[in-house]
């Protein structure tokens, strides 16, 4: 693989706000016949090509769409640690999000998503969407409920997720229009 040897520069004053927007999309692997994927890297691939998934989700059933989860503000987290031995390294993507509340719909969603491979879509503060999970390397989500102890405690669900990947971050080349998705509700 060819390495781009141009300097990596940081412009003085350039924005660098961490965190993610308080919303997540989930797509069950069993609900789609096509998923945005990273293209095969060649010596002429651009830097953008190496971390941008091409294509779009194709749902098996017409009218199906990603599951929208409104998260509690400042609770969406994502990281990618390097893993593996020399000449066999990859990335362990992981993170979490939280949704306050204890309604029946959240309990049902926690049960449904438990042990269900799929794909998560996160949106960073620059508005770029990140896909967690690729075909053959799906995202796995572990929901947990905490009902609190004292009356002042927050009740809700914490969802932790993991996926193995060949890139630390995979951006969606064709972002999902979340505003239009919510307008359909």
pLDDT, one tens digit per residue, over 125-180 is 999 999 999 999 999 999 999 999 999 899 999 999 999 999 999 999 999 999 99
Q: Is 12 exposed, middle or buried (0-12, 13-18, 19+ CB in 10 A)?
A: exposed
Mean pLDDT of 47-70: 94
Residue range 54-80: average pLDDT?
A: 95
Q: How far is 126 from 116, CA to CA, in rounded Å?
A: 29
For the segment 98-122, the average pLDDT, to the nearest whole number, is 95
3-state secondary structure of 47: helix
Residue tagged 């969407």 (tokens): 129
Mean pLDDT check: name the lowest of 24-28, 61-65, 128-132, 142-146. 61-65
Asked if the model's pLDDT at residue 43 lies above 90, the reply is no
Cα–Cα–Cα angle for 16, 83, 8, rounded to 5 degrees: 35
pTM here? 0.92
Structure tokens at 31: 């609900």
Average pLDDT, the chain: 93
pLDDT value at position 17? 83
**What pLDDT score does 44 carry?**
74
Q: Which helix (H) or strand (E) holds 183?
A: helix 178-183
- Integer Cα distance of 69 and 167 in angstroms: 25
To the nearest 10°, report the CA torsion of 106, 131, 17, 183.
Answer: -60
Confidence class for position 102, pLDDT limits 50, 70, 90: confident
When pLDDT is averaged across residues 76-89 and rounded to a whole number, the result is 97
What pLDDT is attached to residue 1?
A: 66
The residue ranges of every structural domain in the chain are 24-183
pLDDT > 90 fraction of the chain, expressed in percent and rounded: 77
């Amino acid at each position: 693989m060819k390495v781009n040897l141009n300097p990596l520069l940081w412009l003085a004053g350039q924005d660098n706000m961490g965190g993610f927007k308080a919303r997540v999309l989930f797509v069950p692997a069993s609900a789609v016949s096509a998923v945005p994927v990273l293209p095969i890297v060649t010596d002429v691939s651009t830097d953008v090509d190496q971390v941008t998934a091409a294509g779009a989700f194709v749902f098996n059933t017409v009218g199906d769409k990603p599951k929208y989860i409104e998260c509690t503000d400042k609770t969406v987290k994502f990281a990618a640690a390097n893993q593996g031995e020399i000449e066999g390294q990859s990335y362990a993507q992981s993170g979490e999000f939280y949704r306050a509340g204890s309604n029946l719909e959240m309990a049902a969603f926690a049960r449904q998503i438990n042990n269900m491979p799929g794909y998560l879509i996160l949106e960073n503060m620059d508005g770029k969407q990140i896909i967690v999970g690729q075909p053959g390397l799906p995202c796995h989500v572990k929901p947990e409920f905490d009902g609190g102890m004292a009356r002042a405690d927050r009740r809700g669900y914490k969802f932790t997720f993991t996926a193995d990947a060949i890139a630390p971050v995979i951006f969606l080349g064709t972002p999902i229009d979340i505003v239009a998705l919510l307008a359909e509700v």
